[in-house]
Structures are given as structure tokens and as C-alpha cells.
Structure 1
């Protein structure tokens, strides 16, 4: 039986390419959408008939091994009933039409390799009878591709890569603008002030440039705590936020007193990650800022003394105590220690000192609220910094005249006496007005809402570091407290 079929070789639209396993059959589904490709039958006897018919005795049949519809009789193929249906074989069909049994089909158009002119082989006999170890290709998909096709594919791949790169950059830019972080508010000093208490974005960036060189040591400590190797690769893999966004998160926690769950939702991280970031940055800033000497020598203070202090030129530091409300512990013993009779609440108390021009120059640790101001002054280490030629300015309730080695300026008040002298009356308003500077500074510290509200017992482990960092940050967040000062502390 001899038949002739006309097959149109057109590029198919599918993504999966199938090939015919019959020897000398060059067609594939990539370049012909009119043929069908049938899998080998599951019945063992019928499968052996197929293998014998296509003359592939050693064929290893896999899930993708196919025989195209060219090799089956038209009556063996059931056409689909629906437009989008698939053609199927009738039960028991065996391929019967091949090149070697007088079945002939138009060959596919010759490729570039066949149409190109080549010099004749030097050894005709060798070309006609190739060595036994030379592999003879049975299918066109095993031959070298057309160079023109390869060039087109490479150009298409390059264009797609460039498109993917541009889309990725646009997505990263959009994510950066939408993600909650410092860069989202870079253009708004008002928002920076609200979220961080820094007066402007520029001021915040200058502070960041100061602490950024010390970040490698912080990374090493964090990796050591996590039990990972200290190297840059592991740091990149374990870190969920950029360091500057971690810093911004910490400032949000200080400035707004935000709950850790709220911060976790804002930044898209786990709540335990927020807790870890707060602890790490508290200790890091406590170490970095605490290593900077803040006590200013007496001669430098006098050289930049504001005009308001002309009647008190030997003033070195203005002192006052502040109390932070804390959650009452369950133990009655601890309650009695932290209960403050002045605030009628459980508190933590600390001593803070500022220079006449408004910079923080002394910060004590926090003590239980029941301790007296005088005892805090003795235990804080301040007395070792004071010398006989200095003077300190204090508020009315800080009675430290008998323990400091220098002069004390204090607003006069009735304490065990019936009247004040004329000089005391004249000096009291001026000292009171100047002493208000330290109250302004304490108000700046308490602008960090973490300390403006009741401190939970869960942060008592790092409350000293948090309080110290908040006090020291006031030297960088704002300008000087007194007027007419352009110099920094």
C-alpha cells in the first residue's frame, strides 16, 4: 500500500515539545500542530507489538516516549467530538505505516546545513562508510540548530532579561516607598520628629553617620548570641531588616512607646524579632554613647557660659532628680522598696545634670523610688567630679549642701526659719529661672513616651540602658536649651 500525505510544518503554540520515536521520522510537536502523538499502550502484549512494528527492539519506554499519528491508519484514529478535544486511538491499534513499507510523506524543508554548499569530503570511501564508533543521528532534534534561530533566541533572551531587570527595579523602588521605614519619611521633618524625636532628617542622618562605623561590632555580637558564624554572608541571611530600619524601629519604640506587636505589624517581622532588635540596639547605643565623655571640663564651660549666668559664673552643672512610674511588683517587699512617697506610686529615680548651655553632662543609674535624693547623689559618683572651685545649681528639694565639696546655688525657701534675707529674695527668681533649664531637659527626656507612661516589669532588665540612652540622645536630637548658643556640647 502506498499513500501520500501532505503535512504542513508550522510552529505550534504549546510549551511542551514531543518527538516521535520511530526511526527516520523527523517530526516533532514544536514545528507541527496538525499531528498527534500517542503514548505506548499499558497492555504488555500490545506494547510488544508496537515495539516490533517500529523496529526498536531495545527501546527503553518512558513516560514521554511517543509515536506520531503518521504511522497509524486513518481508520485506527478516532477524531474528537468537540472542537477542543483530543484525537485518540481505537483499542488494539498498532502502527503500520513507515518509510520502509512503501509509505511515503513529503520530507520537511531542508535546513541550513543541507542547503549550504560544502567542499566534498577528502575521503569519499570514509564518508560513505563511517567508523563504527561514529554516532548516527536518527532524529532532527539531535542535529545542530540553525545559527539564525540561535541568534534570534539569544536576542529574545537578552530582551527578556532587561525587561525583568527593569521590572525588578521598579518593584524594589515601589516597595521602598510603601514599606514602613526611615526612607518613607525622609522628605518630612515633621514625621521624623514624631517618630524619632530628632528635629530633622538631616540631623538624624548626621547621628547615623556617627554610629555607623561601629555597626560591625554590633553584628558580631548579635551573631554570637544567635550561635552563628561571624561573617558577612551569614549576617545577610539572618537579618530581616536593614540596620538603619532596625535603628528607626528602636527610635519608634522610644519616642512613641509603641507596643512590640504594633511594631511587628508595621515592619512585617515577628514579634520576637522586634524584642531582639530593641535589646540589641539598647545595648549597642548604651555602649557607643556611653564611651563618649560627657562631663565637660570647667574651663570649657566658663568659656561658653550663656549671658543669663553672668551673676553665677562658677556654675558647672545644674542638678535635679526625676522619677519614672513603673508597674508595681507582686512582692510586698519589692513594693515597699520602689514606692515613692512623693509620687504615691511605685517609681524608679535617677539624678541628671546639665551644663549651663543645656547639654547633658551627667546621668546616674536608676534607683528604687524609696531612696532619698541625697543618697542618690552620694552613690551616683557625682561627688568625685566636683571640685572646691566649682558651683552647682540645684532645685529646692535637693539638699546636698553638706556632702558636696563646692558651692551650691538653690532658690531660697522656708525650711525651719521664719524669714529670708533681702539678698536671698533678690536671688531666688534668677536661680529659679535658670534652674528651669534642667526641668526643660527632663521634659525632653520624657518626650520619649516610653518613660512618660508606666514602665512594665518586662523591660526592667534593660531599663537603666534605655534611660541612659534616652538622656544622651537629647544631646543630638535638638538644639541648645539656652538662647544665643551656636556651639555644641
Structure 2
């Protein structure tokens, strides 16, 4: 019996066609007993197929297939010969899926079949009176049915009261269901009452701080451009497209991606959306925040730096910026030439390198683009553009290996070198210790950036197209996510 079921199936295939239905892993390469059908040419029928298989914004190609597991047996026309092909009957659509256990619910019986009716006493009468006329026949038949009689006013009032009560009960039940769904759905509102959870999922110190930042960017949302539309060459505003998540939950998803380094497949499962939608959201929001935050001037004027200068910098009052480089480990390219470009002799690994500058009071005031890991600190300082912001009256504070004295137009504070001497003088030791205590705060700022776990692991090559946006956004977000870098530097509010 089993062989007769499969005798019309193809026993081998030359292509690796696979089923496009979500959660279905059927492939012609590994399954010779299934048939794979192309989408119908009729637009209306094709739309029904796409709706049934639950593929939103799905592009059908000549190679897109749906396997025979998703069609009822009576929907498939078997071939007349063993060498023939199985075909679908006209107008059928796929209806059997994993989410309905590959079965359809039984058809619901009609109203007449569901309702039990008592036998009519007139059914037992065998004889028919002879004095029945057409008029009294009609009247007699009508009087046998409840709907032919006029209902009493009290009955109507009772039914209306019952309908009103049922409507109110349905409304309250619907509100309870919506409230329960809102609490259970994975999104920002689920964790609004826990600052600890907000810190874990977003790196923002509190829900209030996150909402304040949302208020800063919310007015720019209408200008957000969907990446999906941009790739098609039709740049449209994001509010003109259909979203499966609210904008604030898309923003929360993007922060999860940065803060936790979550895989896109994991985020798709958490939020109940397709993995391609997760990818679109991440790319769209990285570009959007890169544009919005990048339009804010973060380089602080000299007089403002002097006004907020911490007391610890009293011996270095002209310090404008503390510079340091950071390296992010990345996947090793297959090309030997590219490997030599991104290989860092300091980290002994393939890296991307960026320059970060902070003001003396701890705010990030400069972020460079990322460069190949083989670049030197001096070269990245020259190419990053920070030299255009420095003036002769300023001073920069750097690490011992930052040899940029001959390229900057201002003073450089750097720990002293031995320079062939057996030991340093007492004043040089004190100065080295003082600069090291102050310069270490730029490393603390870099550590805040790397608390976004996305940068704490090896960056895959596939995200290199948007890595500059992700890195810059993470650096700029540290100015909004946290409190002061050093609590003692926090200015008390003026009364």
C-alpha cells in the first residue's frame, strides 16, 4: 500500500529545489517522494498562496516552490502514467502547514443540523382534512413557526438587556486580553518597571533616561528611510510602509542587538518576526541614529571645557581632549592581501582600529571612522580629521606610544620616556603618575563602548558594510546612556 502511494513520485532530481514555506525544510535534493509546485501565474490566486504560507513582502521567482505536503490529496491530480508529472487542480491553494499540524478542522455543521427540534405532533397525523383551502393552509403553516407570531414587548426588552450585557462583557474581556498580550509581548514596555532589566537589554542606566533619549529622536522619525525601500530605489518615508513592530520596539530591538550582541535569529524568535525583518530593522536604525546623532556637534568649545574642568586637571588646565585608540577583533579575511591590511601586531589578530577623544570631564567629543588594524596611531591621527579641530592654545593628553608631537599644532601631555637613561627623575615620575591617572579615564570611556557586547566578540565580515555606523552610534550613545564618568566630577545643580 505504501509503494502504491509513492509510485508516481520522482525518484531522483537534478536540482536542489526547496520549499519556501516557513518551518518547512523539504528539499528535492534530500527527498524524492515529494513534488514541488511553482506559484500560479494568476495574480489573485498567487496572492492567496502568499497569504496562506504567511510570507509578508515576499518576492516570487520562477524558482520558488511549494512542496506537496501543503496540499490536500484531492487537490493533486495524479499522472496517467508512471513517467508523468503530478499537477495541481485549477484554483487550489496550500492549506496544510506545521502551525495547523498538517490538518484542517472538520467543517462546521449548518444551523439546521446543529439545532435539535422536537417532533411535531402534526407529523403523526396520517389523514388530511378535506376542508383545507389555500388560505387556511397558509395560515396554518405560518402559525406553526415562532417567527410568524409577534413577540411581546417584555421579551424584546429582555433580549436587548441581554445583548447590552454581552457587549459590555466582551469589551472588558477584550481589554484584559490586550493588557495581557502587552505584558507578555517582548518589548520595551515589558521591562518598563525594572531599571536593572533596562540596563541589561539596552545599556541605558534607567527607563527614565531611555525615555528622555527617545523624546530627543522621536521628532525625527518621520524622516527615517526604510532600507528595504532604499534598496529598491524608491526612497519613501518610513511611516508610509507597513511595520510589524511599533517604532519604539524596533528601537528596543536595535539596542538589544548592540547591548547583548544577540544573533538575528534569536531576536526574530523573541519578537515573533521574520529574520529578514530583524536585519532590515538593524540596518535602518543604525543609519537613522548615525544620521541623527552625527548631526549633533559633540566637539566642545574651549571656554565650555574650562567651565566644566574637573579639579583633578588643575595642573593641566589647557587640556582640551584626551585621545586613545581602540581595536575591535574582526573575522580574518580569506585574501592574504586583506589579512596583511587588518592584522594588528599589537593584538596579534585581525582588527579594526578607531580613534576616540573625550573631554576632561568625560564626555565623548571625537569619534573617528574605523581603519584597518595595521594602521599606526600617528597615521590614524593624521587621517581622522581631529587635527582640524586643534588650535595652538589647546593641549592634548595621550599615552606614551602616541608620538604625534610633530603633527599636532598644540601642546602634548604624555608620560615621560627613559630615553636611554637608567631611571627617571622624581619630578618625571610624579608627572607620569599624574598623567596616567587622568589619561586612564579615556580607557574607561572605551570600556563603556565595549560594554555593548556586539563589539566584545569577533565582528563577522558580513556586517562590514554597516560597521562604521554601528560603532559610531555605540560611541555616541555612551553620552546618553550613563551618568558621569567619575562621580566626583558631577556638577551639583545650582539652587
TM-score with structure 2 length normalisation? 0.70
Whole-Å separation in 2 of the counterparts to 1:227 and 1:153: 59
8 Å CA contact 1:98, 1:104 repeated in 2: no
- Residue 262 of structure 2 corresponds to 258
8 Å CA contact 1:317, 1:353 repeated in 2: yes
Whole-Å separation in 2 of the counterparts to 1:210 and 1:421: 51
State the secondary structure of the residue aligned to 1:377: helix
Whole-Å separation in 2 of the counterparts to 1:231 and 1:319: 38
Residue 157 of structure 1 and its aligned partner are, at CA, apart by 2.9
Match of 1:100 among 112, 129, 133: 133
Q: How many residues align?
A: 384
Whole-Å separation in 2 of the counterparts to 1:97 and 1:221: 84
Q: 1:261-288: per-residue Cα shift (whole Å, max 9, x none)? A: 1111111111111111111111111111
Match of 1:200 among 206, 220, 226: 206
Match of 2:485 among 478, 481, 487: 481
The runs of 5 or more residues in structure 2 that have no matched partner are 1-108
> 1:441 and 2:445 equivalent?
yes
- Residue 316 of structure 1 corresponds to 320
State the secondary structure of the residue aligned to 1:471: helix
8 Å CA contact 1:180, 1:266 repeated in 2: yes
Match of 2:435 among 431, 434, 439: 431
Q: 1:353-395: per-residue Cα shift (whole Å, max 9, x none)? A: 0000000000000000011111100110000000000000001
Whole-Å separation in 2 of the counterparts to 1:355 and 1:315: 8
Whole-Å separation in 1 of the counterparts to 2:365 and 2:437: 20
Whole-Å separation in 2 of the counterparts to 1:348 and 1:485: 33
Task: Output aligned runs, 1:452-463, within 5 Å.
Answer: 452-463=456-467
Match of 1:354 among 358, 363, 378: 358
8 Å CA contact 2:223, 2:237 repeated in 1: no
- Residue 191 of structure 1 corresponds to 197
Task: Output aligned runs, 1:118-267, within 5 Å.
Answer: 141=147, 149-218=155-224, 235=241, 238-267=242-271
8 Å CA contact 2:202, 2:256 repeated in 1: yes
8 Å CA contact 2:226, 2:284 repeated in 1: no
Question: Larger Rg: 1 or 2?
Answer: 1
- Residue 385 of structure 2 corresponds to 381
Whole-Å separation in 2 of the counterparts to 1:374 and 1:305: 27
Match of 2:118 among 14, 27, 34: 34
Residue 146 of structure 1 and its aligned partner are, at CA, apart by 6.1
Residue 219 of structure 1 and its aligned partner are, at CA, apart by 5.8
Residue 305 of structure 1 and its aligned partner are, at CA, apart by 0.2
Whole-Å separation in 2 of the counterparts to 1:440 and 1:195: 20
8 Å CA contact 1:73, 1:96 repeated in 2: no
> 1:370 and 2:338 equivalent?
no
Q: 1:321 to 1:382 in 2, by over 3 A?
A: same
8 Å CA contact 1:309, 1:356 repeated in 2: yes
Whole-Å separation in 1 of the counterparts to 2:131 and 2:313: 112
Residue 177 of structure 1 and its aligned partner are, at CA, apart by 1.1
Whole-Å separation in 2 of the counterparts to 1:346 and 1:182: 36
Whole-Å separation in 1 of the counterparts to 2:289 and 2:138: 82
State the Cα RMSD in Å. Answer: 3.4
Whole-Å separation in 2 of the counterparts to 1:163 and 1:231: 41
- Residue 402 of structure 1 corresponds to 406
8 Å CA contact 1:326, 1:454 repeated in 2: yes
Residue 323 of structure 1 and its aligned partner are, at CA, apart by 0.3
